Structure 1
Amino acid sequence: MASHHRTPNSNRETFRRYLEKGSVIDSLTTVLVTLYSLQEKPSNPLEFIKQHLGAAGHISTDSEALQQELTELRQKCAALTEENMELKAKLLQFEPQSENGV
């Protein structure tokens, strides 16, 4: 029975290698990262995955680079927006107030 306990782990590892060799894991990861990166999430995430999974294996290097750049730029934009708000708040502390409050 000891070999029986090793079989599920062995089968799992074999299956994992099979998925990696077929680029299934990479394709799933790409689709999920794309979904995660969307500002406006689709109402039906499963349908989004179905529609984009077939295309995931065909994403060109340029498309991947553009998607990565888009994600980075969105993050940078969010960080700059936050910094801008903080700086505006600090600026208000140092601006002299007029007599009429303006």
Structure 2
Amino acid sequence: MAHYRASDSKREQFRRYLEKAGVMDTLTSVMVALYEQNEKPTNAMEFLKQRLGIAGQDCEDTEALQLEVNELRQRCALLVEENQELKTRLQRYEPKSEDGAAE
């Protein structure tokens, strides 16, 4: 019996967490909107995704963004390398002591 009560307690805590975060209200409103549709959509999951605002994220968009991120990372690596090379070249031409710079 103790195990059963612990399970109920965890469920109750989780339910309160969902209510406090507004998840229950949001899901309820989306489900009510689906219920009130005169013509039920052929794809209920797509309807839910649209109502929750996650339908616009396509695989193509994700792939394009990942390609852009990879290109930018490569460019950044090249710029870091170039920056390091330029610093090294600059150090060869700068005087090593401040006394030489003051003269």
TM-score by length of 1: 0.48
Structure 1 or 2, whichever has the larger Rg, is 2
- Choose between structure 1 and 2 for higher RCO, CA contacts under 8 A separated by at least 6 residues: 1
TM-score where L is the length of structure 2: 0.48
